[in-house]
Amino acid sequence: MSNLEQLNQALADCQAEAERYRLLAEQSTDLISRHTPTHEWTFIDVNPAIEKVIGYTPEQIIGTSGYDLFHPEDADNLLKRAESVRYRSGIYTNVYRYKHRKGHYIWLETTSRTIRDKDGYPQEIICVSRDVTERVEAQQEIKRLARVVEASTDMIMFCNEASRKITYLNESCYRTLGAEENKPSVFYLDQLFESDIYGTLVKSALEHASLHGVWYGSITMKPPENGRVAEVREIIAHRNRAENMRVEYYSIIGRDITLRKKAEQEAKRHQLEMAHMSRLLSVGEMATGLAHEVNQPLAAILNYCHGTARRLEDNPDDIGTVKRSMELITKQAKRAAEIIKRMRSFVRKTEYQRLSFSVNDACIEVSKFLNQEAADHDIEFQFVLDDEDTYLLADKIQIEQVLLNLMRNAIEAYSDCEATSRPVIISTQKNGTYIHICVEDEAKGVSADALAQLFEPFYTSKSSGLGMGLSISRTIIETHGGQLWVESDGKAGTRFHCKLPLKDK
């Protein structure tokens, strides 16, 4: 083959190779472009993919400034060596916003190389670009979610399904657990709960989440040494959708309830203070009757002493008389002591105490406390008590306070009533898991307007008193998980109903 033939063959081979590269460039879905190495970054040539990527045809874009289509904030990324720019072996990769023909911006990832002559001067820039808008927006969404998670006041942690190791804690977690974020501690889920709670409630919640995807509830966490009180409220199971939907990890969401607990304790303390004040006021209102009730045994003791002294003057050796007198004096002294004991028990200031006690016995004991006041108003207590001696698990003093308020209201209902029969009927009836207590009078009843305001603080129809008794009574009953309400037709009596959850004997 002659030199000319060899040259022609080489030329044909080069043309075929060039044609293959042209076809490759034209068929590529990536935008391939050539630009001037000037500040304007003018388009010299582009492949047809430009129309799908940024909406321009090659004829519309060639010869125009590529720089003008950059988003103003991204135009100088390469010069500034922004975080979005990577460089390796003479190739730059840049992620930036570029203006579409329709006016909106898309995200492009461009790999570029500068072509230089033999003296090192730039001749043109070759770029390969692709639309990465979906990827960038997904990354931005993840970053936004991460910022929300990190800034959340709720505790958010990720827990490995197999090892139960906590792999992530947000700032609220570190603060609640008393740990330092810059010195992260290794936590395992069982460290955050009491052992019995972890073995029952926590494991059950994880199993529920693994089966149903999510669990909602309330599980109190173990207070750390330097941390705060918290509770888990939600557990989400995250599955590997590529591998048989196996649970990979759990998101555990909790809340710092220190302030809530403090507020609850403050509210409970305030309620106890109000209840105690109400008891003191009740005793103050009953002072005359109580004094009379205490005076009766004291007067009897004094009479027995005088009588014994006179008998001994007549017959110093009458030991039998002295013995009988001492027995009677002892009985009356015990009676007086019991009255004082009952009064001191009622007015003493105590913390909330859950005790198991008989409902029927409590009703009878409270009525004894009001014996003198009832006698002064010609009131007769009548009891219709449940045959089964039912027991409550509650604060006995507070429940007795409610019963006292209801019985005194029933007694006072007869103050402007001329009825000769004046019963106050106290009934108890077990109904499933509740005990129903009713205190009823047969006086004039309460008007509809008064009924609507009866449980409001400071409402009273009496000339004395603060009007807090029924309001405090309802608060006490509701705190115990019960209900307190009233019925009256405004003509023939009033019935106060109290419903409380039971504790069997």
311 and 427, same domain (yes or no): yes
Percent of the chain with pLDDT over 90: 20
Q: What is the pLDDT of residue 132?
A: 93
Whether 350 and 473 share a structural domain:
yes
Q: Write out the residue range of the structural domain in which residue 158 sits.
A: 152-256
pLDDT of residue 479: 78
Average pLDDT, the chain: 79
Q: In what order do the strands lie in the sheet with 483-488?
A: 380-384, 423-431, 434-441, 494-501, 483-488
Q: Beta strands 434-441 and 494-501: pairing type?
A: antiparallel
294 with 418, same domain? yes
| Residues in CB range of 499: below 8 A, 6 or more apart | 434, 435, 436, 437, 477, 482, 483, 484
> pLDDT by residue (tens digit) across 448-496?
777 777 777 655 655 555 455 777 788 788 878 889 888 887 777 888 9
What are 427's two structure tokens?
A: 């009934």
Final residue belonging to a domain, choices 201, 234, 256:
256
Are 165 and 84 contained in the same domain?
Answer: no
Q: What are phi and psi of 266, to 5 degrees?
A: -65, -40
What's the predicted TM-score (pTM) here? 0.44
CATH code, 102: 3.30.450.20
Q: For 175-189, 292-306, 418-432, which range has the lowest pLDDT when averaged over its residues? A: 292-306
Q: Give burial (CB, 10 Å; 0-12/13-18/19+) of 228.
A: middle
Same domain, 96 and 123: yes
369 plus 410 within the same structural domain? yes
Query: What pLDDT does 505 receive?
Result: 41
Please give the pLDDT value at position 504.
46
Residue 485 domain flag: yes
Q: Per-residue pLDDT for 398 more than 50?
A: yes
| pLDDT greater than 90 at residue 98 | yes
Q: 182-197 pLDDT, tens per residue?
A: 565 678 888 888 889 9
Residue 478 maps to which CATH number?
Answer: 3.30.565.10
pLDDT at 142 over 70: yes
pLDDT digits (tens, 9 = 90+) for 423-448: 899 999 988 888 999 999 888 887 77
Work out how many domains the chain is built from and give that number: 3
The answer on 42 and 179 residing in a single domain is no
Residues 326, 203 share a domain: no
φ and ψ of 90, to 5 deg = 80, 0
pLDDT of res. 66:
93
When pLDDT is averaged across residues 62-82 and rounded to a whole number, the result is: 89
**pLDDT tens digits, residue range 261-288?**
777 677 666 566 655 556 555 555 555 5
Residues 252 and 325 in one domain: no
Look at residue 292 and tell me whether its pLDDT is greater than 60: no
- pLDDT score of 272: 61
| pLDDT, greater one: 500 or 148 | 500
